[in-house]
């Protein structure tokens, strides 16, 4: 088959695969990653549907490990995506496909002294608020970037997280320590820009995760901390701190927006008042005198 024609056919397949994933409630990030992996695999087998079998997938795994040098965690993700893809294609005799055992990594988290050093190293209220939101609420960097001013209830000390993982809204609670910064910052943004986003760009669009990562790197460098710290490190710090201070896994699960029982525990509904009680009781304090 002509390579261009084959590629066009594969694009139709992956587009249809995307729609199926979206219909099944997968997050946009998952859909983007899974379809990208499916396209990579199709390219690897020359866009030949007849070669979608266990042998080709095993060879693809070897290629990823040996030629590309991918880690077990990355290969695990690839195989999970391919499992979903071949199920969508209804390919026979593929049920024996197994992902490598997912490595159990100890989450990288920060000590209280490190958090305080980072907060002290923020150059302005915007930087400080970014760090505070990450470490005091445990939200994902993508959720931080998508925050809208109207999502924040200053009186109730809650934030509605929209279009999170799995496209399910949830409520998170923020600490009293954040109130002064939030009030001042929101007032400043409303007076200077016409944007619905809490952290807008100069063009009033939402800030990107890459930009947040760069901001975090600059702050960490000023704090003199040598280890690698990403926005997700603050999420691990939030969860670890709650757990160490006695919070139950169900509270942590809901605050983090986890849906899988393998991540924390079977989902149990907690109302906003219960979340506030659990949050206020267990959240660590990083008071900084500025």
Contacts of 84 (CB under 8 A, 6+ apart): 21, 34
Q: Is 267 a catalytic residue?
A: yes
**Token pair listed for 247:** 């919070």
Q: Which of 26, 61, 128, 140 is catalytic?
A: 140
Q: What is the DSSP string of 175-200?
A: -GGGHHHHHHHHHHHHHH---SBSSB
Contact criterion met (CB below 8 Å) for 237 and 247: no
Q: Is 232 a catalytic residue?
A: yes
Q: Is 47 a catalytic residue?
A: no
Contact criterion met (CB below 8 Å) for 199 and 147: yes
Q: Which of 26, 61, 157, 165 is catalytic?
A: 165
Q: Which residues pair with 273 in a beta bridge?
A: none
Give the per-residue pLDDT at 267.
Answer: 24
3-class DSSP state of 173: strand
Q: Round to whole Å and give the CA distance between 286 and 237.
A: 12
Reported as type and span, the H/E element at residue 11 is helix 3-23
Give the per-residue pLDDT at 147.
Answer: 94
Q: Round to whole Å and give the CA distance between 163 and 176.
A: 25
Q: Is 78 a catalytic residue?
A: no
Give the per-residue pLDDT at 243.
Answer: 74
Q: Round to whole Å and give the CA distance between 231 and 251.
A: 21
Q: Is 140 a catalytic residue?
A: yes
Q: Which of 68, 214, 267, 281 is catalytic?
A: 267
Task: Report the CATH number of the 112-282 domain.
Answer: 1.10.443.10
Give the per-residue pLDDT at 269.
Answer: 36
Give the per-residue pLDDT at 9.
Answer: 52
**Token pair listed for 181:** 């910064």
Q: Is 269 a catalytic residue?
A: no
- Burial class from Cβ neighbours inside 10 Å (0-12, 13-18, 19+) for residue 253 reads buried
Q: Is the pTM of this model over 0.75?
A: no
Residue 177: how many other CB atoms lie within 10 Å: 15
Counted residue by residue, the chain has a size of 290
Question: Left if phi > 0, otherwise alpha if psi is -120 to 50, otherwise beta: which for 9?
Answer: alpha
> Hunting for tokens 């809490």 — which residue is that?
198
Give the per-residue pLDDT at 11.
Answer: 72
Give the per-residue pLDDT at 204.
Answer: 86
Q: Which of 126, 232, 250, 276 is catalytic?
A: 232
CATH pick for 3-89 out of 3.40.50.720, 1.10.150.130, 1.10.3720.10, 2.60.40.3880:
1.10.150.130
Contact criterion met (CB below 8 Å) for 251 and 270: yes
Give the per-residue pLDDT at 93.
Answer: 58
Contact criterion met (CB below 8 Å) for 138 and 239: yes
Give the per-residue pLDDT at 127.
Answer: 96
Domain regions of the chain by residue span: 3-89, 112-282
> Hunting for tokens 């079977």 — which residue is that?
266
Which residue positions in the chain have pLDDT lower than 70?
1-10, 91-107, 163-167, 258-278, 282, 290
Give the per-residue pLDDT at 208.
Answer: 93
Give the per-residue pLDDT at 265.
Answer: 38
């Amino acid at each position: 088959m002509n390579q261009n024609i084959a590629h066009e056919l594969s694009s139709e397949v992956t587009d249809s695969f995307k729609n199926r994933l979206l219909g099944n409630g997968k997050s946009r990030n998952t859909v983007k990653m899974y379809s990208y992996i499916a396209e990579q695999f199709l390219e690897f087998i020359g866009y030949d549907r007849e070669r979608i079998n266990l042998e080709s997938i095993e060879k693809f795994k070897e290629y990823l490990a040996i030629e590309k040098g991918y880690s077990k965690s990355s290969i695990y993700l690839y195989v999970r995506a391919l499992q979903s893809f071949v199920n969508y294609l209804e390919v026979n005799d593929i049920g024996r496909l197994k992902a490598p055992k997912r490595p159990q990594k100890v989450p990288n988290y920060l000590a209280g002294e490190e958090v305080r050093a980072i907060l002290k190293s923020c150059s302005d209220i915007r930087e400080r608020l970014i760090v505070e939101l990450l470490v005091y609420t445990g939200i994902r960097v993508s959720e931080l970037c998508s925050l809208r001013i109207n999502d924040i209830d200053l009186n109730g000390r809650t934030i509605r997280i929209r279009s999170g993982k799995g496209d399910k809204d949830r409520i998170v609670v923020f600490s009293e320590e954040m109130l002064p910064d939030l009030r001042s910052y929101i007032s400043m943004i409303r007076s200077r820009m016409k944007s619905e986003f809490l952290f807008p760009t100069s063009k009033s669009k939402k800030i990107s995760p890459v930009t947040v990562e760069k901001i975090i790197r600059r702050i960490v460098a000023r704090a003199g901390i040598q280890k690698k710290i990403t926005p997700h490190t603050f999420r691990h710090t939030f969860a670890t701190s709650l757990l160490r201070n006695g919070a139950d896994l169900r509270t942590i699960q809901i605050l983090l927006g986890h849906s899988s029982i393998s991540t924390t525990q079977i989902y149990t509904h907690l109302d906003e008042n219960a979340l506030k009680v659990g949050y206020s009781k267990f959240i660590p304090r990083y008071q900084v005198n500025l």
